[in-house]
């Protein structure tokens, strides 16, 4: 992957401001892209864009291929005559600083159903043609996904393992009968995916025209209750009832004495290899249709992963199992020609993981917050960075920069102040400057750090089953003053086109 020295901001679309309870792909997303490019940023990093389930986590989606219909913009549907103004007169009084998912889901899906009814009654020819073309082009994953979602709806949202045996086990006659019975629900699900894809592609095209690249995110594992596992049970370690015999996680460490039990079913890599990794190649291609660069979450799992018995309540008992590593990536190269990946190489990293990442020249990650706990030799401190890495103040899984500083002990605070030559009063921006000034060729920070917010704005607390993924940016937060400030550090640390320069705010003498 060849990228010039540049910078960007992490902000999931759900965190954008807007009038409908959740950030979406409408006017505020376009204003956000204008803000980034006017500030000299070349990158926008998002979290996975799939349809979320219980807990609202983008890392536990109903599909690795589908988009999240909650991101569809009602304003864009209105402009395309897929909604009537009367369809938007009942907007609830949503909170503006966080996503109330329960209220948003009920209202938003109702709006999308109205759009579908209007589509059926009065179809603009370009939309009709586009929908037909979309269903044909995406048939390989779309048919399974739409039937899966229609069946979940018919079963009150129950996981597929609890469905009738013939549906759980995908009996062909039962699937055919269900497809006929649920035809309207299937069409509705397909239409939602069409709308999401249409809006996202238009937004991405706008970003490209402005010179902005989007960094996406591919979690290594998929949710158990997903169309991917239901439609491809042979690719996972499952018993006869569809339950996983072994699951994913990480072993105990300093931060988690019982480890982390993620619960995702593990891959039967031998079956994937026999199929020339087709499912994976299709998945990567699908994501690259939506983004320019992929952050491979839990990269170490491609070299070796922690296998936990399916009935375990913690991650303490398990074993390390080798993964296909180079064989997998060689196959990807044969199909994709290049690997536009960032390797999320955090956690317990062994020499084989380092070798795998280095062999393909993939940039790893550095988290500045982690550097103030281990002394001057810590690899997360800027003076120890290699050029081929991506540095972050923190990510969606960490404290905000200010929240970290307010939480840690006095020794870490002092080392942080000494290292940054700071009094700690503006620690978020001090960290941003350290990242931007480093030799790392890519530098990013969450929007929360640019806004100097505390942990009330943190996106995710790993291990907490609820209350995550809700933070939203206030309307007007990305204003001209912040744009000038970001533009200045991009210029000072050579992370933007030098022709952009900086705006001279010096008062003029009279």
Catalytic residues: 297, 344, 397
Question: Quick one: tokens of 180?
Answer: 């006929």
Beta-strand ranges (E) seen in 93-198 are none
CA distance 307 to 322: 10
Q: Which residue from 275, 325, 301 is spatially nearest to 220, judged by alpha carbons?
A: 301
CA distance 186 to 150: 6
Question: Quick one: tokens of 471?
Answer: 């933070």
Token look-up 């809006």 returns 199
Phi/psi of residue 270, nearest 5 degrees: -65, -40
- Contacts with 13 (C-beta within 8 Å, 6 or more apart), sequence order: 23, 24, 25, 29, 46, 49, 71
Q: Which residue from 243, 262, 265 is spatially nearest to 315, judged by alpha carbons?
A: 262
Any idea of the CA torsion for 183, 186, 192, 197, to the nearest 10 degrees? -110
Q: Which residue from 347, 364, 452 is spatially nearest to 402, judged by alpha carbons?
A: 452
CA distance 298 to 202: 30
Token look-up 């393992």 returns 161
Specify the pairing of strand 260-265 against strand 43-45. unpaired
Please give the radius of gyration of the chain, using alpha carbons only, rounded to the nearest integer.
Answer: 23
CA distance 382 to 366: 9
Q: Which residue from 385, 390, 405 is spatially nearest to 342, judged by alpha carbons?
A: 390
CA distance 446 to 401: 9
Query: Helix, strand or coil for residue 168?
Result: helix
* Residue 90 CA neighbour count, 13 Å, CB half: 11
CA distance 378 to 78: 53
Token look-up 């978020």 returns 428
104 within 8 A of 70, measured Cβ to Cβ: yes
125-137 and 139-154 are packed helices; what angle lies between their axes, rounded to 10 degrees?
100
């Amino acid at each position: 992957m060849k990228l010039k020295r540049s910078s960007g901001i992490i902000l999931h679309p759900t965190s954008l401001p807007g009038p409908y309870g959740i950030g979406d792909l409408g006017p505020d997303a376009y204003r956000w892209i204008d803000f980034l490019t006017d500030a000299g940023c070349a990158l926008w990093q998002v979290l996975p864009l799939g349809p979320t389930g219980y807990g609202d986590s983008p890392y536990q989606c109903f599909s690795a291929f589908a988009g999240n219909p909650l991101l569809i913009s009602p304003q864009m549907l209105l402009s395309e005559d897929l909604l009537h103004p009367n369809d938007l007169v009942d907007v609830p009084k949503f909170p503006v600083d966080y996503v109330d998912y329960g209220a948003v889901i009920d209202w938003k899906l109702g709006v999308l159903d109205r759009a579908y009814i209007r589509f059926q009654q009065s179809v603009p020819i370009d939309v009709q043609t586009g929908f037909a073309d979309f269903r044909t082009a995406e048939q390989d994953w779309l048919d399974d996904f739409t039937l899966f979602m229609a069946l979940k709806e018919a079963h009150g949202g129950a996981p597929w393992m609890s469905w009738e045996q013939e549906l759980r086990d995908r009996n062909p006659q039962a699937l055919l009968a269900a497809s006929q019975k649920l035809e309207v629900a299937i069409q509705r699900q397909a239409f939602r995916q069409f709308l999401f894809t249409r809006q996202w592609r238009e937004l991405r095209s706008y970003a490209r025209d402005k010179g902005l690249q989007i960094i996406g995110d591919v979690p290594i594992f998929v949710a158990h209750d997903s169309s991917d596992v239901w439609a491809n049970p042979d690719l996972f370690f499952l018993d006869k009832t569809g339950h996983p015999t072994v699951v994913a996680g990480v072993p105990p460490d300093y931060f988690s004495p019982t480890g982390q039990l993620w619960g995702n079913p593990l891959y039967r890599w031998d079956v994937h290899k026999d199929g020339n990794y087709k499912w994976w190649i299709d998945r990567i291609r699908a994501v690259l249709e939506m983004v320019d660069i992929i952050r491979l979450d839990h990269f170490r799992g491609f070299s070796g992963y922690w296998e936990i018995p399916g009935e375990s309540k913690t991650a303490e008992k398990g074993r390390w199992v080798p993964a296909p590593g180079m064989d997998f990536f060689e196959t990807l190269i044969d199909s994709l020609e290049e690997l536009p990946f960032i390797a999320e190489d955090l956690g317990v990293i062994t020499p084989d993981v380092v070798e795998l990442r280095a062999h393909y020249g993939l940039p790893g990650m550095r988290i500045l917050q982690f550097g103030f706990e281990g002394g001057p030799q810590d690899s997360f401190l800027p003076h120890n960075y290699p050029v081929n890495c991506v540095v972050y103040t923190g990510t969606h899984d960490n404290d905000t920069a200010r929240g970290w500083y307010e939480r840690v002990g006095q020794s870490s605070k002092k080392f942080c102040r000494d290292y940054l030559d700071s009094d700690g009063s503006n620690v978020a921006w001090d960290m941003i400057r350290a990242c931007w000034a480093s030799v790392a060729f890519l530098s990013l920070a969450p929007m929360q750090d640019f806004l100097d917010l505390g942990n009330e704005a943190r996106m995710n607390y790993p291990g907490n089953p609820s209350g995550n993924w809700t933070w939203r940016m206030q309307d007007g937060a990305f204003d001209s003053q912040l744009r000038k400030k970001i533009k200045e550090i991009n210029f000072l640390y050579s992370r933007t086109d030098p022709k952009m320069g900086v705006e001279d705010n010096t008062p003029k003498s009279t």
